[in-house]
Structure 1
Amino acid sequence: MKNIICPIDFSDASKHAVNYAVHLTNHFKGTIHLVHAYMTKKTASMLINMDEAVKEGLDTDMGFLMDQIRPDILPGTQVKTYLQKGSAVSVITHMAEQMEDSLIVLGKTGLSNLKTNLFGSVSTAVIRKSSVPVLAIPREAKLRIPRRVVLALDQNPTKEDDSLNALIHLLNEWGAQLHLYHLIESEEDPGIHPRTSKQLENVPYSLHFELSQKDLSDSLHSYLESIQADVLCMIRHQKTFFEKLFHASHIRKERSNVDYPLLVIPD
């Protein structure tokens, strides 16, 4: 990707996502766009606008962050910073839409809290509204180029004939292998939908079938571990499937420390 948009709120999770973005971009020689969106308002008692004071503090925070990551930035990688007033979701998604060949990289907590932290959060809203792929990075994720990507699918087709083009583009950039984790209703299930199969006809991949009656979260974690996956990928329209896999109550405590970057492809 030529442009990586990386929202920053200066938390540990978002700083780790920045480090991950730097590692990716160093490999492909693109531009990282660090963006912080903020809101201010006039106080009723003092009738002063806090905008300038807030922005001055944020300038300082952004400067500290740049000092931290500058030693890791290799020649050919550019980093641009933005402080923009407005809704975080609107600022982030609009910026991504205006840039060619873009990817949003943002921080998140572990998969054990995925429903809590994605549903109802800024990260969730970005994932739901973005027209470009979103890569959510947990704090535990190692800094490495993804080489094994698992695409989790159910029996439903993608909405468009080119829905998986963004994923295929990333696979080619990363030099990554694709592994399909396919949820089926019964052993007589016909398999991958023809539209999905058509989109992947020129992409080598391995295929793993899983019956939907099983504990999906546990099964998926076991599969990710077995192939030493680097990234889990899902298609955004599969909301029900997404919730089945990651509802916090379905994830066993012993699996809670297993975490993977999550790539969400818009359909």
Structure 2
Amino acid sequence: MSTIIAATNYTELAENAVAFAAEIARQNNYRLILLNDFSVSVHAMNARLSAERIEELIDENKLLLESKALLLADQYGIEVISKATFSFVEDAIEEVVTQYNAEMIVMGMEEKSVEQELLGNTTTSIIKKLHSPVMAVPANARFNGIKRVLFACDVLHGVSEQILARIKQMALTNNAEVEVLLINETVEELKAVGADPNALRIIDKGLDGIDYYYKNVRSDSIIDGIAREIKRMEADLLIMVPQPHGFWDSMVHRSKTRVMASGLNIPLFSIPA
């Protein structure tokens, strides 16, 4: 059975992402792993709690997570497994992804802030460092089906057949329409600047059988161009494929990925190249 992971720290933001993940699991008949990486609060550390008390807190957290998993299983009619860990959250997620060969990680996405633009957060760190698909769910996003998907595509560097197959499967499962967004360059211009002549044919072949179309957006800012298109088409999901070399590269190094993710009103699905 295919598996997805929902990471939670019990905040309202995280619990909203868990609910979103549960809806996806129900729709796709996935197994859901409910993950919490427990950490001792600063106040508890300052209080110099005994090892026995810290052990009790870990056990209490495990019981809380198990009870939440049971409630989710009953509410959504899905299989839910609780995984309580006590380590660094990135290490915990990577370990669970490997253990269950998870399809994706679903996490909450903090709202935009100056601090986040500079430093990012756990979700943007996971997107950047782990070679796993991540769905970042903002606080105000609710699952009402995924009918319109915006795929912001770096055609210059190509898109793998595996990624296209994932997008196609998502579209088929949700009966969704996909817009392939080309930033600042038309199909003809891409060919003129030396883009792989087979790249568009590969996309056409990979998405054959679903409702999709191309659109070009002119913008001095990639971020602004994508944001405007999200509003125009009333997209339910944005898909991005960060590339180590390409226009997504500047987004990572200049913290623009964080700006993009934290400024959304819809989930961002990041698929590693």
Asked if TM exceeds 0.5, the reply is yes
User: Equivalents in 1 of 2:119, 2:144: separation in Å?
Assistant: 27
| Residues 46/126 of structure 1: CA separation in 2 closer, same or farther (3 Å cut) | closer
The share of aligned pairs that are identical, in percent, is 18
Q: Per-residue CA shift, 1:30-79, capped at 9, x if unaligned? A: 211001112469989666355412212313432553466455312xx111
Deviation of 1:221 after TM superposition, in Å, equals 2.4
CA contact (8 A) 2:124 2:258 kept: no
Quote the Cα distance in structure 2 between the aligned partners of 1:182 and 1:264.
Answer: 17
Aligned residue runs from structure 1 range 187-202, under 5 A: 189-190=189-190, 193-194=196-197, 196-202=199-205
Pair 72,113 (structure 1): closer, same or farther in 2 beyond 3 Å: farther
| Equivalent-residue separation in structure 2 for 1:138 and 1:241 (angstroms) | 19
How far does residue 109 in structure 1 lie from its aligned partner after superposition? 2.4
Q: How many residues align?
A: 257
Structure 1 residue 132: deviation in Å? 2.6
Normalising by structure 2, we get a TM-score of 0.78
1:105: which partner in 2? Answer: 106
RMSD of aligned residue pairs (Cα, Å): 3.5
**Secondary structure at 2:204's aligned position in 1?**
coil
Name the CA distance, whole Å, in 1 between partners of 2:100 and 2:226: 34
User: Does the CA-based 8 Å contact 1:231-1:263 persist in structure 2?
Assistant: yes
CA distance, structure 1, for counterparts of residue 114 and residue 104 of structure 2: 20
Contact conserved, 1:97 with 1:132, CA < 8 A, in 2? no
Contact between 1:7 and 1:105, CA under 8 Å: does it hold in 2?
yes
Matched to 2:135, the amino acid is L
Equivalent position SS for 1:208:
strand
Aligned residue number for residue 260 of structure 1: 266
Residue 176 of structure 2 corresponds to which residue in structure 1? Answer: 176
How far apart in 2 are the matches of 1:106 and 1:118? 20
Q: Is there any run of 5+ residues in structure 1 with no aligned partner, and where? A: 251-255
Q: Are 2:37 and 2:88, in contact at CA under 8 Å, matched by a contact in 1?
A: yes
TM-score, scaled to structure 1:
0.80
Q: From the two aligned structures, give the one with the greater helix fraction.
A: 2
Instruction: Tell me the distance in 2 between the aligned counterparts of 1:245 and 1:65.
Output: 35
Give the drift of 1:259. 0.7
Gap runs ≥5 in structure 2: none
Is the CA contact 1:179–1:205 (under 8 Å) kept in the aligned structure 2?
yes
Write the mapping of 1:74-93 to structure 2, written as runs, cut at 5 A. Answer: 74=77, 77-93=78-94
- Quick one: structure 1 residues 52 and 245, their matched pair in 2 at CA, closer, same or farther if it must change by over 3 Å? closer
Equivalent residue number for residue 209 of structure 1? 216
Name the CA distance, whole Å, in 2 between partners of 1:114 and 1:29: 39
Is the 2:5–2:102 Cα contact (8 Å) retained in structure 1? no
Question: What displacement does 1:21 show?
Answer: 1.0
Task: Give secondary structure in 2 for the equivalent of 1:81.
Answer: strand
In structure 2, C-alpha distance between the alignment counterparts of 1:244 and 1:120, rounded to whole Å = 8
Distance 1:178 1:128 in 2: 25
